[in-house]
Structure 1
Amino acid sequence: MNRTRKQVKETRKPAKMKGFDQYIFFATLLLVAVGIVMVFSASYVNASQRYGDPYHFLKKNVFFAVMGTITMVFMSFLSYKRVEKLRWVVAGTAAVLLVIVLTPLGTSLNGAQRWISIGGMTIMPSEIAKFASIILIAKYIKPKLIQKSLSGAITPLAIAGFFFGMILLQPNLSTAGSIAITAVCMLFAAGMQVRYVIGAVLSAIPAGGLLAFASPYRWKRVTSFLDPFKDELGNGYQVIQSLYALGTGGLFGLGLGRSNEKFLYIPEPQNDFIFAIIGEELGYIGCIMLLMVYVFLIYRCIKVAMNAPDFFSCMLVTGIASQIGVQVLLNVAVVTSSMPPTGIPLPFISYGGTSLVILMAAVGIVLNVSRYSRANEAKARQDKQERIGAE
């Protein structure tokens, strides 16, 4: 093919920066919208009983969703390189808050001290710690070392271990565990050998067993998981009610707003067990469609990571996608009684201001990286067309 000099010159121009990945943006907003609807549906009975206002949780959730959306859009324009530079500020803030929450300034509820009350709002430092650990691990992963030996994983594992230990003191094993699992996912994506990953998984099983055995309430949860009907009014109660909800929903569900279990059968149905209410009202089909949105969101994040401009941004997006995926798997596993009950929210859906805002901020970073990724994709296509034209 014969081309003019002007045409050749135009094809060699660098690709302009592209807009962010709209699929990720709208998938996130869809999950948040579903969360707002389902939190209201699940909570209005509880809110009426406790606060005399059926819209109590709805109003707060809408407020946090608006805050999260503004934060997500802002972060999509803030260069991920700025996040890289501020890594120790974010990590230091998370560490300080994790210390403060263990002092008398922390708020205790049901034997756990996980919140800090400021004015009329509460902050959950462990949610910030998830984000901080991902940024630090993404920065200090050395792919060449990891691919050769386990020594390259020492620093990332030490970072994960620090946050794991601090969160475990609250105690909050589920969140601490999600940080550890996310770290392993990031190391595997960076090239850590499969045998080391398998070794980490196998070593985590007895370690988790020891941690559960060392705590009476955790051990009761393990035994109730093995046979929840042995203690149907105690530790097995919430899981049994969850299974009743999923079973009652059947294939198509009872209909939006028609759940029976939210009438104070499931305690705090708008929180960790909201997936059971979704199953009861929207049925098996509704649950599958929701999970498919999560799969699509994670797939798009992985695609952004694969075309990321540098290794740090690749690991950053990988960590965020892994954290979302890990939380979804753990939450659904608990609700369906596939693992011992533990408190971990369903991303973007469960009620919780800190979790929602931090998650949406993390998605904003993914959107920022996607601007560079799309530019790289466009440049690759341009170079390919140039090579074909030259032939």
Structure 2
Amino acid sequence: MADDIKKNKAKIKNVAKKELQNQAVKRKIKVEKGGQKKIKVDTAKENKIRKVGVKKPVVNDSKKNETKKNQIKKRRFYDYSPIFIILFLLMLGLIMIYSASSYTADLKFKNSAYFVNKQLIFVGLGLILMIIVSIIPYQFWIKLSKPIYLVATGLVGAVLVIGRDANGARRWINLFGIKFQPSEFVKVAIIIFSSYYLVKYKNDLHSTDRKVAEKKLWILFGAVFVPTLLVMVENLSTSIIIFLIAFCMSFLGTSNKRLHTVGAIAMGVILFFSKPFVKFIYERGARDYHLTRLLVWAEPEKFSRDGGYQVIQGLYAIGSGSLFGKGLGQGMQKFFLPESQNDMIFAIIVEELGLFGAGLIMGAFVFLIYRMIKISFSVKDPEGVYLVVGIFIHLSLQVILNIAVVTGVLPNTGVSLPFISYGGTSILVLLGEMGIVLSVARSIKLDY
């Protein structure tokens, strides 16, 4: 009886064992000796991998994180908003040059579009120059800062020898039929040279020893003084801009502000006492081209034949503009205002487009300067920062001085309104500077 029970139990075990084996085969579970079960994932994909002999790589979590960090792509920052503002100002400038000069151009050259056609050529060349310069890394210009400075200084020195007279001043050089104004190149040369100098001697300029810092500042001022003096002989306004560019850049580039404080006080005193001083020396018999301009500023009605007439007509144009102006092309003062397409074009803008048009232009300049300031804050390389800072200082000074001259706040200095006034050399230099700003902006890298 007991043997039968044992045989039945053995049969039951064998049947159960076979059933388990069948289920294991169906579920692809390999049963090894000792009763240990090992799950074997035997998919078609795994079979293919085994046949080829490729092993799956084992990657640790730490390595996965590192690869993810390395895979983060970086893209270069390119600010398109300044380009749109520049194009807007250039187009507006072409329209206003035609409006201001068509009558004069028709009388002199029998072509009402004479001035705007010439300006259009320089605008096209300037835009090509801006694109080329924006592609070139800005460090290239820093490396050439000394040769650029020497060439610019040599050109303004050559003006005094082989230069051509224009409106009573010798400011132009004519080489192989190409006429240009070297003083415009000095502005950008000083910006590039100052950027190089302020970075190279950064430790000395921020030294706690005042003598060390002031020594480096005097060397910089001496280097700037040479081309400034050469330009001053025939172009006082541009020499003032050149000096102020270096003055402002060096102020930002040093921790020692004593020289700048003294200089700012001196400039304020000179400006305050300039009118009575000019009258005093004029009454003593002094006569000079620059002195005449200061006299016109002091008393434009009395010296109307010496340039006061232009200032008075400009003020008439501004006063008649009202809120929205007389309408594009409807202004009258351009028939009486000499060279209205040049330095005094802002007066024509106010007359024809009113305070609304003037505010629109001012807003465009403010936005352009704001974008340059944002770029300067985003750049890590100090040389790039100084380049952008120097360019927006130059642009700001030229806008402020031009409007101040037209409104009679400052003497007539012959400063053009950036991107708008007629002038080929000025347009080329300004668009070249904008190319440098875009080149610096391209060096900014963003993660995404």
User: After TM superposition, is the score higher than 0.5?
Assistant: yes
Contact 1:140-1:155 within 8 A present in 2 as well: no
The letter of the residue matching 2:191 is I
CA distance in 1, matches of 2:146, 2:290: 33
Question: How far did 1:14 drift?
Answer: 6.8
Match of 2:221 in 1: 157
Residue identity in the other structure for 1:137: S
One-letter amino acid matched to 2:306: G
The answer for the alignment partner of 1:321 in structure 2 is 392
Q: For residue 192 of structure 2, give the secondary structure of its aligned residue in structure 1.
A: helix
In 1, the alpha carbon distance for the partners of 2:408 and 2:289 equals 17
Q: SS at 2:165's partner residue?
A: strand
| Rg larger in structure | 2
Hey, what's the Cα distance between the residues in 1 that align with 2:301 and 2:237?
Answer: 23
Is 2:422 the partner of 1:351?
yes
Aligned residues of 1:101 and 1:113 also touching (Cα < 8 A): yes
Counterpart of 1:292? Answer: 363
Answering whether residue 431 of structure 2 is matched by residue 360 of structure 1, we say yes
Matched, 1:117 2:140: no
Alignment match, 2:264? 201
Whole-Å separation in 2 of the counterparts to 1:39 and 1:339: 23
Are the counterparts in 2 of residues 182 and 322 from structure 1 also a CA contact under 8 Å?
Answer: yes
Report 1:227-266 matches (<5 A). Answer: 227-263=299-335, 265-266=336-337
Structure 2: tracts of 5 or more residues without a match: 1-60
Given that 1:137 and 1:159 are in contact with CA atoms closer than 8 Å, whether structure 2 keeps it comes out as no
Pair 1:43–1:139, CA change in 2 (3 A): same
Q: How many residue pairs align between the two structures?
A: 372
- Among 118, 124, 133, the residue aligned to 1:75: 133
Q: Tell me how far apart the structure 2 counterparts of residues 284 and 52 of structure 1 sit (CA, whole Å).
A: 33
Q: What CA distance in whole angstroms lies between the structure 2 residues aligned with 1:246 and 1:131?
A: 32
Where relative contact order (Cα < 8 A, 6+ residues apart) is larger, the structure is 1
In structure 2, give the amino acid aligned to 1:178. I
Q: Does 1:46 align with 2:118?
A: no
Look up the SS of the partner of 1:116 in the other structure: strand
Q: What residue in structure 2 maps to residue 129 of structure 1?
A: 186
Match for 1:130: what amino acid? K
- 1:19 Cα shift? 4.3
Distance in 1, Cα, partners of 2:423 & 2:136: 25
Aligned pairs for 1:263-274 (under 5 A) are: 263=335, 265-274=336-345
| 1:131-160 C-alpha deviation (Å, 9 max, x unpaired) | 111111111013443344433322322222
How far the C-alpha of 1:272 sits from its partner, in A, is: 0.6
- Give the 3 Å change call, closer, same or farther, for CA 96–295 of structure 1 in structure 2: same
User: 1:365 and 1:225, CA in 2 relative to 1: closer, same or farther beyond 3 A?
Assistant: same
Q: Look up the match of 2:248.
A: 185
Q: Distance in 2 between matches of 1:192 and 1:256?
A: 50
Other structure's SS at 2:174 match: strand
Structure 1 match to 2:354: 283
CA drift at 1:166: 1.1
In 2, are the aligned partners of 1:68 and 1:356 still within 8 Å (CA)? yes
Equivalent residue in structure 1 for 2:237, among 174, 182, 186:
174
Q: Secondary structure at the match of 1:101?
A: helix
TM-score (norm. length: structure 2): 0.78
1:27 match: 85
Q: Does 1:218 align with 2:277?
A: no
Mean Cα displacement is larger for which, 229-238 or 181-190? 229-238
Q: Residue type of the partner of 2:436? A: I
1:130 Cα deviation from its structure 2 partner:
0.7
- Give per-residue Cα distances to partners, 1:6-52, cap 9 Å, x unaligned: 46643455763414211122211211111111111111111112211
Q: SS at the partner of 1:287?
A: helix
Encode CA deviations 1:119-140: one digit per residue, 9 max, x unaligned. Answer: 4431100001111111111110
State the Cα deviation string for residues 74-127 of structure 1 (Å, max 9, x = none): 111000011112222322221221122111x31112321100123443110000
**Does the Cα contact within 8 Å between 1:254 and 1:283 map onto a contact in 2?**
yes
Aligned to 2:153: 95
Alpha-carbon RMSD across the aligned residues, in angstroms, is 2.3
Are the structure 2 counterparts of residues 133 and 215 from structure 1 closer, same or farther at C-alpha, using a change threshold of 3 Å? farther
Aligned 8 A contact 2:153 2:226 in 1: no
CA distance in structure 1 between the partners assigned to 2:178 and 2:134 by the alignment: 26
Q: Identify the residue that residue 388 of structure 1 maps to in structure 2.
A: none
Structure 1 residue 231, shift from structure 2 partner? 2.8
Runs of 5+ unmatched residues, structure 1: 383-391
Is the CA contact (8 Å cut-off) linking 2:325 and 2:350 kept in structure 1?
A: yes
Q: Does the 8 Å CA contact 2:324/2:355 hold for their aligned counterparts?
A: yes
- Would the alpha carbon gap of residues 5 and 26 (structure 1) be closer, same or farther in structure 2, given more than 3 Å must change? farther
- C-alpha displacement at 1:242, in angstroms? 0.5
* Structure 2 counterpart of 1:334: 405
Partner residue in 1 for 2:163: 106
Output the TM-score relative to the length of structure 1: 0.89
Name the amino acid aligned to 1:242: G
